[in-house]
Amino acid sequence: MELTPSSELLGSQNREEKLSPGKLHATQYIVALVLAVLLVGLWRLQIVSADGYRVLAEANRIRKVPVLAPRGRLFDREGRLLVDNYPSVSCYILREQVKDLSIDLPLIAQGLHLTVDQIQATLRRFQSAPKYQPIPLKQDITPDEQAFIEAHRNELPELQTLDEQRRLYPRDGFAAHLIGYVGEVSEQMLDNDSRYAFYQPGDVVGRSGVEQTYDALLRGKDGSRDVIVNSHGKEVGALGQELAVPGQDLKLTIDLDIQMAAEKALEGKIGAIVAMDPHTGEILALASRPTFDPNQFSVRLTKSYWNEILNNPDHPLLNKATQAQLAPGSTFKIIMSVAGLQEGVAQSMHVMCNGGADFYGHFYACDKHHGMVDINNAIPWSCDTFYYNLANRLGIDTIARYATSLGFSQRTGIDLPDETSGTMPSTAWKLKTQHEKWFAGEVISVGIGQGAVTATPIQLARALGGVASGGVLHRPHVVFPDEVPPDQLSAIHDTFPGSGEKTIELSPENWQIISDAMAATTVTGTAAASHLEGIDFAGKTGTAQVMSHDALARSGGGHKTVPNAWFVGMAPRRNPDIVVTVLWQNGNWGANSAKLGAQVIDAFVEKQRKRANNIRIAEMPAPTPAPLSPTPGSPPVTPATKPAAE
């Protein structure tokens, strides 16, 4: 370290006029030591720990920005757009960006038109999420709010905007139960449902209808961009990106024209209409009333709207076509007829109807004095006396066997969530559920679709359509199976089990008897008022009491005591192209429902005729954004549980 002192100096100088060489040498050593220490410091950072710091440097400058995949659109069977997306901007909060978020909250609240409490509630909900994960603060923000975020980039670096595609549903709850809606995945779903194992809190998923069943296909795959940011979070460049894979578009089996006819028929009523192609199980229309506005669910649901839905006694969220389990009334007589004919009993039965009959010490009424009745007029006249006798002859377990083979007390397996199965009583069923023996007299009411029998509209459509098709029953579905990859399809079938594809034995003679009798219903029978001229229209009405005669007498009347009106109709009578079930709750007479069913059948036949004549079918106007009216001040709510099925 020591530098050689220049020799030229040594000599004449006064000793006191020179610094001591020892001290200068000491200084040289000190300097060398200081530099050596700094060198060690550099070595430690740049050689020993370089890799670790390299990772930190990368983490500093690279931020992963999600690129959200647009959800697949939904089309009707003719390719007409039902559900579209529209571009929207959401505001996210990055907790990593600031030390103390609470200081900024009042400003953020003001700029985004939220309250501090709302923001804090959101933050609490995401407390357990990893720090680097952006938290959705407000969806579908206005241009004003966007401008606020842009203007406060330096003061509020934690706010980030993200372009999203938002769902745009048809207005006025059109086909809302079939289509469903999307919303944030709930904690309950994340914790309890294996289908959501790989979802993150905050992910938008289908929460009902097709949106839920086909979520895996519709959602696509989110991508991400690696962007280079500076210390203020400003984007200064991009590295790579993983492209978002858009969700798959789906073609529904719904026919917009028939759906519109169904929606129109149900207007102002409570009930459901389902129309199906019995050759395949394709659902042509599915409507339920009262309905709801899925657009309100797709952005943050307001508490007032949610309360309105929850407090409606008629359960707007319930898909009555697949979830309402009610006594099928006289529509059940078709099942009785199948059982009676196949068992060889009904062919030879001739019953004198004097407005009812006595069984086991009780009088069972019929609504008319039908006189002498056989199977050919028992169906169109819907004579109860005939079926009381038939039920008594067959016994409950034979009836149950036929009903079960036609899909009663099982789900149909339709690809819509939360289908219910209805009930088909039998001796075993009663022993199991009520731990009691079956009383022989109980079978009499079952014969006319009362008592413990319940069914859903979709079950009736499948069963009666199946009978009219000669005993071939299909799994109802709302999405064409060839739109769905095979593994997905079998997964959906596993998730929505049901009686599915089935063929029951039905001899051609019996098939003819039943279908001819159903055709007579719309000509001379209970649905004669709904006769469609020139259309081979067959059907069966049902008027199901909602309470017993005794209870009715005690209740003192009221709208809710009025019987439910059922109708199952089809065209043509044999091997029908369409089967329609109408449930009009408290609609009083099956004949009333038959009129609604006739409107749907008429729309279907009208369309076929137009097509035959090559007339263009009217296009439905594309949906426009529904006006959103978020209520300021009311915190958003997430539907946690679905209302119980009726």
Partner 1 sequence: MPRLSAYRDFDWILLGFVLVLSIISVLEIKSATLHTKFHGFEQKQIGFLLVGLVLMFLISLIDYHRLIDIVHWAYGISIVSLVAVKLVGTKVLGARRWIKLPGGIHFQPSEWVKLILIVAVARYFWNLAGKELTWKDIWKAFALVCIPMALVLIQPDLGTSLTYVPILLCGLFLGGLRTKQAAILLLTFSLLGGVAWKSGKFLKPYQKARLTAFMDPDSDPKGSGYQIRQSLIAVGSGGVWGKGNNQGTQTQGDFLPIPYTDFIFAAFCEEHGFVGAVGVLLLYFLILMRLIQNAQTASDLPGAFIVMGVVAVIVFQIAVNIGMVVGLMPVTGIPLPLMSYGGSSILFTFLSLGIVMNVRMRRFVN
Residue ranges in contact with partner 1 by CB under 8 A: 3, 5-6, 8-9, 13, 16-19, 21, 23-24, 27-28, 30-32, 34-35, 37-39, 41-47, 49-50, 52-54, 56-58, 60-61, 98-99, 228-232, 236
| β-sheet bridge partners, residue 226 | 64
Write out the two tokens for 392.
């008594």
For residue 6, the minimal CB distance to partner 1 (Å) is 5
Quickly list H helices, 101-208: 101-112, 116-125, 143-151, 176-179, 187-192
- Of residues 59 and 431, the one with the C-beta less far from partner 1: 59
* Nearest distance from C-beta of residue 49 to partner 1, angstroms: 5
- CB burial readout 6-35, b (16+ within 10 A) else e: eeeeeeeeeeeeeeeeeeeeeeeeeeeeee
Confirm if 75 and 168 have CB atoms less than 8 A apart.
no
How many CB atoms lie under 10 A from the CB of residue 255?
25
391: left (phi over 0), alpha (psi -120 to 50) or beta: alpha
Residue closer to partner 1 by CB (options 7, 311) is 7
To partner 1, the closest distance from the beta carbon of 105 in angstroms equals 18
Output the six-digit token pair for 49: 């720990």
Report the phi/psi class of residue 335: left, alpha or beta, with left for phi > 0 and alpha for psi in -120 to 50. Answer: alpha
Smaller CB separation from partner 1, 41 or 508 = 41
Count of C-beta atoms within a 10 Å radius of residue 279: 14
Distance CA 399, CA 395 (A): 7
- Using the minimum distance from each CB to partner 1, give the nearer residue, 53 or 132: 53
Q: Which is nearer to partner 1, 35 or 628 (CB)?
A: 35
Residue 484 CA to residue 486 CA, distance in Å, equals 6
What single letter denotes the amino acid at residue 209?
Answer: G
| Chain centre distance of CA 639 | 13
CB of 36 to partner 1, least distance (A): 9
Q: Closest distance between partner 1 and the C-beta of residue 64, in Å?
A: 16
Q: Which is nearer to partner 1, 45 or 238 (CB)?
A: 45
Residue closer to partner 1 by CB (options 27, 490) is 27
Question: Measured from the CB atom, is 24 or 489 closer to partner 1?
Answer: 24
- Geometric angle at alpha carbon 22, from 18 and 23, rounded to 5°: 75
Query: Residue 54 phi/psi, 5° resolution?
Result: -65, -40
Residue 363 φ/ψ, nearest 5 degrees: -95, 125
User: CB neighbours of 241 closer than 8 A, spacing ≥ 6?
Assistant: 67, 223, 224, 225, 226
Cβ–Cβ under 8 Å, residues 290 and 598: no
Question: Quick one: 54 or 195, whose CB is closer to partner 1?
Answer: 54
Q: What angle do CA 366, 368, 371 make, to 5 degrees?
A: 100
CA angle 55, 56, 60 (to 5 degrees): 120
Judged by beta carbon, residue 24 or residue 532, the one nearer partner 1 is 24
The amino acid at 528: A
Q: Minimum CB separation from partner 1 for residue 13, in Å?
A: 7
Whole-angstrom distance, CA of residue 72 vs CA of residue 249:
4
Of 42 and 529, the one with the shorter C-beta distance to partner 1 is 42
As a whole number of angstroms, the distance between CA 87 and CA 412 comes to 38
- To partner 1, the closest distance from the beta carbon of 98 in angstroms equals 8
In the chain, what's the furthest Cα-to-Cα distance? 155
Question: Closer to partner 1 at the Cβ: 36 or 147?
Answer: 36
Q: How far is the CB of 632 from partner 1 (least distance, A)?
A: 33
Number of neighbours of residue 87 by Cβ within 10 angstroms = 9
**Contact predicate 410/463, CB 8 Å:** no
Question: In the structure encoding, which two tokens stand for residue 109, read together?
Answer: 């609240």
- Closer Cβ to partner 1, 59 or 529, answer by number: 59
Which residue's CB is nearer to partner 1, number 98 or number 489? Answer: 98
